[in-house]
Chains A and B, each alone.
Chain A
Amino acid sequence: MPPLTRPPVAVPFPGSRPSRFARVFALLFGLTAAASWWAARVDLPTLFSREAFRNALVFVADGFPPALSPTFLFFLIRPALETVQISLLGTAVALVIGFPLGILATASLAHAGPLHELDLSGRPVRRLLRFMPYGLSRALLSLFRSVPELVWALVFVRATGLGPFPGVLAIGVAYGGILGKVYSEIFEAVDPRPLEALQATGASRWGVFWYGMVPQAFPHLVSYTLYRWECAIRASAILGFVGAGGIGQQIEISMRMFNFGEVVTLIGLLVLMVAGTDALSLRLRRRVL
């Protein structure tokens, strides 16, 4: 009798075929993509036609040569600074909104998964009580981020008047919704085994969160927040169009004056600023990884 060999049983290989869900999902995805192509009137021949090219060129050529007079450049310092300030403060507000809501919106922390398996078993009322702040924060986050920041800016310009402040609030609220959702997904994705070990010492959920989740999630949190800051610089330019200060407001004024040379300078400045934040955040990311 040769014992330590495998019994000759045909073991079905699990998971070798995509599940029905995966197949239905793939089919629906394909159909939706095709329908969208048609509905969005994607028209590649026109896009790549000579005429389209010429029109675009004319539009761009209007901006040359860009305005580079010392007085104009000097004048730009203030709006440029203002844009940086709006984006920084806006991201800070987004962090203040997004972090706590993101914690509440993390299912593995709120009510689902092995951390709650024993605690919530046979306690439907408790489960519901745990679910409520979770559901509420999810709803709030999705409201914050589904209203575009431009609309938030219009609302806040009405409320607080023209200037950088409504820009800060608009970015803060819209990006708070985005950060909160992404934070909760980052928290959700950390390795659950260290969390279980922490809980097994009798740690509270806060203990598990600060000792287990945050350290694991930290580099991703930093990385994504920095990326959002970069986005905020771009967004603050758009927000300027509705009177929320910064470079954007300047672009809007120059456009209204048909002064496309100034517009090109301003956009160049914006590109420089985004590249600057990118370089800065790269260094920060290296530090925390």
Chain B
Amino acid sequence: MYQAEGLTKVFPGEIRAVDGLDLKIGAGERVAFIGPSGAGKTTLFRLLNCTLKPTAGRLWVGGREVAHLHGAALRAARRRIGTIYQQHNLVPRLPVIHNVLAGRLGTWSTTRALLSLARPVEVEEAHRALQQVGIPEKLYARTDELSGGQQQRVAIARALLQDPDIILADEPVSSVDPTLAAGIVHLLTDISRATGKTLVVNLHSVDLALATFPRIIGLRDGRVLFDLAPAAVRDETLAALYRGAPATGPAEGALDAPLDPATSCRPLPRV
């Protein structure tokens, strides 16, 4: 589904957020990215969902090179990729239903989109998507009145409604409690398994990643540090991934944990 060769994104100030990345992700694969804060995960996802233009290197989505996509072809490619953003990126003043229905904007005409703002269409579908993430009662609530975790689930419902071939989930469960987090990640993997959608996530919860995904990629300083099956990921591998990272690195709560004398590293938090 994805192929990258030397993919690089440099931000002003010589910040090499993604630095010469080589990557291959097959159709229907389920991959989890892990890595310290600032490793370039979000930037990589914005490259993968055809928002940012790579500074160097090449990227193919579904066999087509992204640099050659423009106009209608670019929109069509984006339509097939559903992104769940780390910061949810919802429109705060809009009722939940419109934020969910926004998943359909890629297929709707402008007229239909406008009419739906006045009188929502496809309400059934929006309701079902919200049911899947457990907040059907919030259909007509105003989005900025929802809790952080509820907003995150609205963003997931939007991606469900978009019904893409590829789901990119950037920290999809960062603001929900651990039980719900596992539930949502399983929802995504179940959907991927049932429909053959490619699922690429990025998780700060390493345990959840190791337990749920058949392929784990460690990202650090914009480079792939390892690309392994979860069974092959050892404590040393993880220690190297998070070494010297600022305290906000692995996850909240990590600082409270005592140092592990064997690796002189704090153990990774359990979910």
Contacts and interface: CB of A to CB of B under 8 A. Distances in A.
Contacts of A216: 91-93
B70 A126 contact: yes
A118 B113 contact: no
B187 interface: no
The 3 closest A-B pairs by CB, nearest first: A202-B106, A202-B79, A203-B105
A118 B91 contact: no
Contacts of A219: 93
B58 interface: no
B105 A202 contact: yes
Nearest to B110: A206
Interface string A201-221: 111101110111001101100
Contacts of B103: 201
B243 A118 contact: no
B71 interface: yes
Contacts, number: 121
Given A4-B255, A118-B66, A210-B117, 8 more contacts: A118-B52, A196-B89, A201-B104, A201-B162, A202-B106, A203-B102, A206-B113, A211-B105
Nearest to B161: A201
A203 B106 contact: yes
Contact of A118 (B50, B90, B158): B50
Interface string A188-203: 0000011011111111
B157 to A, nearest CB: 12
Given A202-B76, A203-B102, A7 B52 contact: no
Contacts of B70: 119, 123, 126
A1 B263 CA distance: 10
A124 interface: no
Interface residues on chain B, size class: 35 or more
Contact of A215 (B79, B94, B162, B245): B94
7 contacts: A3-B243, A119-B70, A119-B74, A126-B70, A197-B155, A198-B105, A201-B106
B83 to A, nearest CB: 5
B180 interface: no
A117 B82 contact: no
B219 to A, nearest CB: 19
B138 interface: no
B98 A211 contact: yes
Contacts of A121: 53, 67
A207 B105 contact: yes
A218 B117 CA distance: 14
Nearest to A192: B89
A211 B102 contact: yes
Given A204-B75, A204-B110, A211-B105, A3 B53 contact: no
